[in-house]
Amino acid sequence: MGFLLRRLAFYLVAFFVAACFNFALPRLMPGDPVDIMFAQADASLPPEAQAALRATFGFVDGPLPAQFWAYLKSVFTWDLGISVRFYPLPVADVLGRAAVWTLFLVGTSTLIAFALGTALGIVAAWWRGGRFDSLVSPLSLVLQSVPAVVVSLLALFVFAVSLRWLPPGYAWAPALDPSWSLAWFGSVLQHAILPLATLTVVQIGGYLVTIRNSMINLLGEDFITLGRAKGLSEVRVMLMYGARNAVLPMLNSFAITIGAVMGGSLITEIVFNYPGLGNTLYQGIIARDYPLIQGQLLIMTLCVLAANFIADLANYRLDPRLRTE
């Protein structure tokens, strides 16, 4: 339990740092922070909404510590202010609704990419230097360094615009209303194929190369030889002796991966006009909706921290050393 509690405390601090960043940034910019943040709002928000918005970000009368306290209170009561672009909706609502779609994309594609990438990486490491390995490993490395913008634009161009196999945008067909009907679910699935495939392609190379390299490093170890010497089947040695240990470092690098995938998802959603965080944010960026832009940092950080905690739980389950501590 000590391990998990320490991780939780760490995540709390990390979230606090992200919040501090949001507080400090407008105040560090040259010029009047209120002017910077609410120039757009002045034009489009009624005075009482503006006053509420200012209070949310700690622009109250008083010294900096008092302002900081006011700001922290609003963050930890999940009051992220009012969106300027989507007035009168609060930022937490706008982003919360959109986050569902993003989590759907990120979660599903991560599962697919993790499963496929790990399986292929194990095979590549086991028969390293073979034909499969020397084709797939460099290829996935190259794939890993192609940005999500490029993959999604190419996918959009080939499959939606040229071949017309799949719809070019949004999460469901405009003719349907969201309902728990089969037609609507089918439409959602059909619209999700391209963004999901894009995100899977973006991620899979990273998983494959990581587990391959980590497993190759393990294959010379004595316990692999021991497994063989015990006369265990090849598949058992590969999976239970090699892969199980090779997966651990992967879970540790999850922290960086998941943040990058969330970033990739933002871009993919914009290209496919998908109603997730990315698209909402894009409209916010165009309108210079600072409360919304700041709110997404907190929501995204929260999602990444939650994903990290899930990885910690998996680590805890797989690695007995963490439990006996």
Q: Are 35 and 59 in contact (CB under 8 A)?
A: no
Minimum separation from the CB atom of position 285 to another protein (A)? 6
Task: Give the interface segment with another protein, choosing from 19-27, 74-82, 112-120, 186-194 (CB under 8 A).
Answer: 19-27
CA torsion, points 245, 249, 252, 255, in degrees to nearest 10?
-130
Q: Are 102 and 280 in contact (CB under 8 A)?
A: no
Question: Applying CB under 8 A, which of residues 288, 314, 316, 319 lies at the interface with another protein?
Answer: 288
Residue 217 found at the interface with another protein (CB under 8 A): yes
Residue 232 found at the interface with another protein (CB under 8 A): yes
Q: Is 273 exposed, middle or buried (0-12, 13-18, 19+ CB in 10 A)?
A: middle
Please, where are the H alpha helices in 77-169? 91-126, 131-144, 148-155
Closest CA to 249 of 154, 314, 199: 314
Helices and strands of the chain, counted as H and E runs: 15, 0
Residue placing its CB nearer to another protein in the complex, 161 or 310: 161
Minimum separation from the CB atom of position 185 to another protein (A)? 28
Residue placing its CB nearer to another protein in the complex, 188 or 255: 255
Task: Give the interface segment with another protein, choosing from 79-87, 190-198, 225-233, 313-321 (CB under 8 A).
Answer: 225-233
Residue 50 found at the interface with another protein (CB under 8 A): no
DSSP state of 239: I
Please, where are the H alpha helices in 230-319? 234-236, 244-252, 254-271, 277-286, 290-318
Q: Are 72 and 19 in contact (CB under 8 A)?
A: yes
Q: At what angle do helices 254-271 and 148-155 cross, to 10 degrees?
A: 40
Residue 308 found at the interface with another protein (CB under 8 A): yes
Task: Give the interface segment with another protein, choosing from 66-74, 112-120, 150-158, 193-201 (CB under 8 A).
Answer: 150-158
At 82 the three-state DSSP class reads: strand
Minimum separation from the CB atom of position 182 to another protein (A)? 31
DSSP state of 178: P
Residue 13 found at the interface with another protein (CB under 8 A): yes
Residue numbers 30-49 binding another protein by CB under 8 A: 36
Residue 199 found at the interface with another protein (CB under 8 A): no
Annotate each residue in 157-196 with x if it binds another protein (CB under 8 A) or - if it does not, as one string: x---x-----------------------------------
Annotate each residue in 115-144 with x if it binds another protein (CB under 8 A) or - if it does not, as one string: -----------xxxxx--xx--xx--xx-x
